[in-house]
Chain A
Amino acid sequence: MSIGLELGNQAFGVRFTVNAEPVEAVSDPATRLSVVLREELGLKGTKVGCDAGDCGACTVLIDGEAVCACMTALAQVTDRQVTTVEGLAPGGVLNDLQRAFLDHGAAQCGICTPGMLMAATALLSTVDDPTEQQVQDALGGVLCRCTGYRRIIDAVMDVGTRMEGRGKGIGAAIPRIDGVPKVLGTDCFGDDVAPMDALLVRVIRSPFHRAGFSIGDLDGFIEATPGLVAALTAADIPGENRFGVIPPFADQPVLATDGEARFKGEAVAALVGEREALIDLDLSTVPITWTELEPAMTVEAASVARPLHESRPGNVLVEGFVARGDVDEALRRSTHTVADHFTTSYVEHGYIEPEAGTAFLRDDGRIEILACTQAPHMDREAVATIMGVADDQIVITPTAVGGGFGSKIDVSVQPILALAVHRTGQACRICYTRPESMRSTTKRHPANMQVTIGADADGLVTGLRFEGDFDTGAYASWGPTVANRVPVHASGPYLTPTYRAHTTAIHTNGPVSGAFRGFGVPQAAIAQETLYDRLADACGIDRLDFRLRNALRDGNQTVTGQTFARGIGIHACLVALKDDWHRARDAAQAWNAENAASPIRRGVGLGTCWYGCGNTSLPNPSTIKAGVLPDGRVRLHQGAMDIGQGSNTVITQIFAEALGLPTADVELFIGNSDVTPDAGKTSASRQTFVSGKAAMKAGLALREMLLRHGNVSADAQISLADGRIVLRDKGAERSLDPRTLPVDGEGFVFRVQETYDPPTAPLDANGQGEPYAQYGYGAQMVELEVDRVLGTVKLRYITAAHDVGRAINPQLVQGQIEGGIAQGIGMALMEDYQPGRTENLHDYLIPTIGDVPEIRSIIVEIPDEEGPYGAKGLGEHVLIPTAPAILNAIRDATGAIVRNIPATPDRVLSAIRVAQGPL
């Protein structure tokens, strides 16, 4: 008897067991097991990242063996035993593996965690005490974009070993406080919150880089297709059909209008309907006629092409400029100069969670959107403008975010969901496919940079000249920010007496370039840092000593003329690497001498960074609200979106420290845009610094309020006991009973709300001013080997020293360092997004667990004058030094200068050939 012979008449479901419970699933037997688990059985712990076996997020066990549920037909589990992440912790009690993941910080955003746990479970069922190699082989099929994998390897190898004694308050390496649901697989991400009966939304997108289109009889199509409810086009938009993260530059339509789509993947229309009807609909059958038009795909082509946007002649979005002194003259008089030209690729964020969300009409008539986001309040403004309503008519409830890295600052699914709900009145859901996510959302700007640097006879830098074109794609997004940040940062953290940096953000018909960890600075650092090595060599000075000699010191002027009396940490970071640098260089040279006949050459490279935290010369406030509830709980409204980096934990630690309570006594409350105030977007490495400072102020204010109410001195200690607040002061004890106090309109008996906005000053026409209230610093050293015959690169070890001012949570600092390095590795060696060609995670490569070497993190703490408890931002800094350090190590090993990034094997081999000269 075979399943399904009764075509169209399902006689019975597929029987199997899930987590030891017998089930019968009635979905079509060809349905992906991942869909059956999530949609029919409600087991949403199994995540879907690609539907193609490329990411492993959906890994489950079938009869004990790891497989991807997204490529398993329901019929194929007939009579078999399926184990999902929900089966690891019956009753919600963490098993040893989950406990190890939590303790080691192996889960950041948590979207890959269920897949990692299942792959590790399969390994540990056959190997008790696995080696690192066995762990890598077993977990090689699960991609993680946050952690850099090293904590995951440690967790799997240390199962059963409890980590204790992490300290208290600020500086305590406590596990992330939102971590338990992540390792249980119960955290709710963008696609995990839809009600069962929600309508599905699918978007119809331009198939060409530039396309004319005309929309046919969509209403007729809807009527003729059972299960479809509505079609949406630009005509359905009640407000402005326009969005953009920087309001003066807002230029992107929600649904393309005027019959032209400006990039491949641009949304043109959307369909709303019952899930079953829409999920398998072939969207090419929708009556839209496309005409392929000649696109401008490079900045060279775009600068002479018809403008994509009428108001931007030459396709120039913006230019950025910073200048000091006469750099041309200084370079002419320099003893040594180096100059070169560099290009970088589009880089895809590659978070494992595709954009997803659900929206519905609330009882009060407003639209509420639950979606993954880095910026709930910006989403609210954008959607309100699009819907033509006041901001408070939209409610944004952020879900857990499965990685963001900058792209989830821009809206994606939110406006479409709002339109669908507005049109149908019903709950609607959407989840981008992986190709759709890659096609339609933002990328790192490809850069085209010409840089010259000079030094005098003493090895002191005399000047730096930077000219860079940045491909900003079809719409503005964060293009202006990249164009403005790069000139401020292109000197690196070095004293540069003369300077001219000019950038141009140019529109093309490529994907929209936006924010990606570093806002253009990683590209610029590749030029500056690799040229620094060549300049040091020209000067005959050790490469680390050359950097030390030129490193910014307290009181020096930056290239924008800003001075910091204290807190400049680059010198300390370089010093922290010095011993390792000499050891590693000696070891590499000795190895190369002993293995002269080998095709393998070893090399060591340095890279450094500085990065200004917060918006560039713009207001950048964060607001934090907190208070005491009548039952004595202390609630922290935490609006600084945690996208895996750890703001839920860090902000709570800072607040608790300021208030004077243990972190565990503070209740973390995310809420929504109605009740949780705007803590700004999670970007620009600003949450620890800016929202952290607001949380510190809120903690201090609440403390003062409680102490004043109890009439005790500022030295009093606060504690919570049985719903009461206990104040101890010089042997005396006061007890406040919140139940006896009046409750305010928000349900608090004590409530504070504090705002912090970092002090900056505008940049003048020469880019002189105070763009940031704080910079963070870092230096990394890469040890690697290059195969001279194949051009392949194998990383051996990375040492990273980062100045974080004050490590609020050293475990999270380490997690940021390792994760940023992994993304830097990808940028340096493999990541090359080519529109139309690499719209999946097997043609677009991000590092796997086997591509990230052992990393040693050195936390440097040079306190900042502004940051809470001296803390500085970190999130973006950590990515910047890695790629240049890798390129410098490749050159150290082989002499090869790779100018086009990524340094794929063919490019490295060509560069080696050039370095070797004619044969």
Chain B
Amino acid sequence: MRLTRPDDLNEALDLLADRHWHVLGGGTDLYPAHVERPFAHPLLDITAVPGLRGIRRTDEGWSIGATSTWTDVVRADLPPAFDALKAAAREVGSIQIQNAATVAGNLCNASPAADGVPPLLILDAEVELESSERGSRRVALQDFIQGNRLTDRQPDELVTRILIPDSSAGGRSSFVKLGSRRYLVISITMVAARLAEGQAAVAVGACSVVAQRLGRLETVLARRNPGETFDDLVQPLHFDDLTPIDDVRASAGYRTEAARTCTLRALQEIGS
């Protein structure tokens, strides 16, 4: 038997403490990774655990449960700061993938080109993890993803939800994805931006091992004076920390340049 499907969170956490598992959510990363390769570990399917699915307002802000799908995001009633996340949700793979794939799985898979990461970075999202031994903890998303396919999740931990603090859920946001075809495309680059009163957040994906916030640009944008255009403010030096690679999708130099263009367009979309 290669799969276990607990219907209780504590049971799931006990199982996780017991041995190594592949955690199964929507399966849209796990199954493709095993096309010619057997599973190294049994599968722990968490989609039957009650309470893990759902997007809701809590006392501490917004909560996206671990088994919430991209379709759940699209259908949720969320404030305009989440427009970038909703736009990203519509661009993840295809309807079939959006119906199955989970937001949390996108984070745990930790692909440099994960469409979900920049829109959550600009919301200052935190990841909540639980284990039977140590209880629960929260990690900022930018610390949670540590590298290509590498996260801070320990083998006995389960991501239970993603939290967005109210303080970061203000203003408006946008998402620009650049790919070589219309659907089912891995991004060449993508940018999420959020502007609120006195706040600015910009994150770029697929241009470094882990998607990055552009701190210096955000500072400039947050202090923006009326009359200053985004074209004036968004400078190439703001993208100096990106470390894109040459691959089959695009050259590194192109990626950096496109990141600036997409950033500008994302900001202009909010500004318009």
Contact = CB atoms under 8 A, between A and B. Distances in A.
Interface of A: 1-10, 28-30, 32, 50-54, 56, 59, 65-68, 70-76, 78, 119, 122, 136-138, 140-143, 280-283, 433-436, 789-792, 829-830, 832, 834, 837-838, 840, 842-843, 845, 847-851, 904-906, 909-910
Contacts of B24: 73
B94 interface: yes
B96 A56 contact: yes
Interface residues of B, number: 54
Given A30-B3, A75-B3, A904-B250, 15 more contacts: A1-B7, A52-B31, A56-B96, A66-B99, A71-B27, A71-B100, A75-B5, A78-B48, A141-B95, A141-B96, A281-B38, A829-B180, A847-B181, A904-B249, A905-B250
B182 interface: yes
Contact of B248 (A68, A837, A847, A849): A837
A6 B4 CA distance: 9
Given A790-B258, A909-B254, A140 B182 contact: yes
A463 to B, nearest CB: 37
Interface in B42-66: 42-43, 45, 47-48
B182 A848 contact: yes
Closest 10 CB pairs of A and B: A141-B94, A850-B182, A140-B183, A906-B254, A52-B32, A30-B3, A30-B2, A848-B183, A280-B38, A71-B31
A51 B11 CA distance: 30
Contacts, number: 180
Interface string B235-270: 000000000000011110110011001100000000
A4 B32 contact: no
11 contacts: A3-B4, A4-B2, A30-B3, A51-B32, A72-B27, A73-B3, A73-B45, A142-B94, A840-B32, A850-B181, A910-B254
Contacts of B261: 789-790
B43 to A, nearest CB: 5
Interface in B12-51: 24, 26-28, 30-32, 35-39, 42-43, 45, 47-48
A75 B45 contact: yes
B185 interface: yes
Nearest to A847: B181
Contacts of A3: 3-5
B97 interface: yes
B35 A435 contact: yes
Given A76-B27, A850-B183, A906-B254, A71 B45 contact: no
Interface string B157-189: 000000000000000000000101111111010
Contact of B5 (A2, A119, A909): A2
A788 to B, nearest CB: 10
Contact of B181 (A66, A76, A280, A851): A851
A137 B3 contact: no
Nearest to A792: B178
B6 interface: yes
Most buried by A among B5, B186, B188: B5
B183 A849 contact: yes
Nearest to B98: A141
Contacts of A906: 250-251, 253-254
Interface of B: 1-8, 11, 24, 26-28, 30-32, 35-39, 42-43, 45, 47-48, 71, 90, 93-97, 99-100, 178, 180-186, 188, 248-251, 253-254, 257-258, 261-262
Nearest to B6: A2
| Chain B interface, >50% SS class | loop
Contacts of A140: 94-95, 182-184
A29 B6 CA distance: 13
Nearest to B11: A2
B108 to A, nearest CB: 16
Contact of A119 (B7, B31, B95, B185): B95
Contact of B32 (A53, A73, A122, A791): A53
Given A7-B1, A436-B36, A67 B99 contact: yes
B5 A905 contact: no
A270 B270 CA distance: 58
A71 B34 CA distance: 10
Nearest to A841: B184
A71 B178 CA distance: 26
B95 A830 contact: no
Contacts of B26: 71
A30 B43 contact: yes
Most A CB within 10 A of own CB, among B2, B38, B184, B254: B184
A753 B6 CA distance: 66
A608 B5 CA distance: 59
Contacts of A848: 181-185
Contacts of A28: 1-3
B26 to A, nearest CB: 7
A51 B3 contact: no
B184 A5 contact: no
B74 to A, nearest CB: 11
Contacts of B71: 65
B35 A53 contact: no
Contacts of A137: 90, 95
Given A53-B31, A73-B27, A790-B258, A843 B3 contact: no
Nearest to A140: B183
A53 B1 contact: no
Contacts of A74: 3
A734 to B, nearest CB: 60
A53 B96 CA distance: 8
Contacts of A54: 32, 184
A847 B182 CA distance: 8
A910 B188 CA distance: 16
Nearest to B183: A140
A296 B35 CA distance: 29
Nearest to B246: A906
Contacts of B178: 790, 792, 905
Contact of A78 (B5, B30, B100, B188): B5
Contact of B38 (A7, A51, A67, A282): A282
Nearest to A52: B32
Nearest to A846: B181
Given A71-B26, A837-B248, A905-B254, A53 B183 contact: no
Contact of A845 (B1, B3, B181, B250): B181
Contacts of B3: 3-4, 28-30, 73-75
Contacts of A78: 5, 48
